[in-house]
Chains A and B, each alone.
Chain A
Amino acid sequence: MTHDRWTNGDSELTNALRVLYAAPEGESYWDALEARILDYVARGDERSVWWDELAYMIRPGLIAAAALILAATVAMARSQQLEARSAYATLITPSPASIEPSTRAASVGDGDMAIHLLLSR
């Protein structure tokens, strides 16, 4: 006779699942697991303490570095602002009128100066 093993109700399925998921038996297994868990928790807490201490030590350094970066950024921004202002001021301010003649006078030779003097009379 052929019958469907899995459609005769859920009890067969449940039994198969119970076999598959049966927890380990024997006190020695659970004692060993307990020891393993406690060891893991102790080591985990040690790691946690180490990280906490490291974080505690690193924190002031990070704060100082952040402050330094902020100060440098502000200083750089100010410097750029000043440079921009100075460049703008140079562009809009006219050159002093006295500069050209005096420059020209300095560049003209003595002979030319005499001709200039004669012509101007």
Chain B
Amino acid sequence: MTVPAESAISERAIVIAAQRGSDEAFAALVRLHQRRAYAVTRAIVLSHEDAEDAVQEGFLHAHRALDRFRPDQPFGAWLYRIMANAALDLVRRRKVRDADELPESIPMPFRDPAESGELRERLQGALTRLTDRQRAVIVMHDVEGFTHGEIGRTLGIPEGTARSDLHHARAALRRLLQDIRSTS
């Protein structure tokens, strides 16, 4: 998430232009940040479609709150925090909606686990057993390469908590998936 000084200056100019009401400048910010924004929301929600919904919701919030942003601050950190909150809101809404539909435990059918589809399903299932925050932390760190500090700032938690969440998430995934073995 580190931005070179030159691009930070040009980004600041774009942010100021967007704050003055330029639609082109806001579109440029979307273009610059949508991939990272998608990565943040995808780490928190459970599906690609929900990640897209959270990204567009996040950008809408950011657009409305743009005049409150101080341009001397890093725009990315501010935006990704908004994205994380939008994704967490979506997860909460989904939980309320799906409360009666989700099974208590993950079904574990006796099929060849070496099938990639099966592995994918099991991993997805195991990820749903983590807390929302643990899942977000492990995906942001292991998949997207965020540092503990960046994760903490994005999710609004101390760096040490992000570190401990990562440890617990990894341990839980190992435990939940330990019965998957392959023969060679």
Interface of A toward B, CB cutoff 8 Å: 1-7, 10, 13-14, 16-21, 23-24, 30, 33-34, 36-38, 40-41, 44-45, 48
* Besides A21-B42, A37-B56, A38-B23, 15 new A-B residue pairs in contact (Cβ under 8 A), listed by A number: A5-B177, A6-B178, A7-B178, A13-B170, A14-B142, A17-B123, A20-B120, A20-B127, A21-B43, A21-B143, A21-B144, A33-B52, A36-B56, A40-B59, A45-B63
The distance from the CB of B117 to the nearest CB of chain A, in whole angstroms, is 12
Known: A2-B181, A5-B182, A24-B48. A33 touches B34 (CB 8 A): yes
Complex Cα distance, B57 from A30, in Å, reads 16
CB < 8 Å: which of A1, A4, A45 contacts B184? Answer: A1
Interface size on B (CB < 8 Å)? 41
Complex Cα distance, B63 from A2, in Å, reads 54
Which of chain B's residues have a CB closer than 8 A to the CB of A19? 120
Q: Is the CB of A18 within 8 A of B143?
A: yes
Q: Is the CB of A21 within 8 A of B139?
A: yes
CB < 8 Å: which of B27, B138, B183 contacts A34? Answer: B27
Interface of B toward A, CB cutoff 8 Å: 23, 26-27, 30-31, 34-35, 38-39, 42-43, 48, 52, 55-57, 59-60, 63-64, 113, 119-120, 123-124, 127, 138-139, 142-144, 170, 173-174, 177-178, 180-184
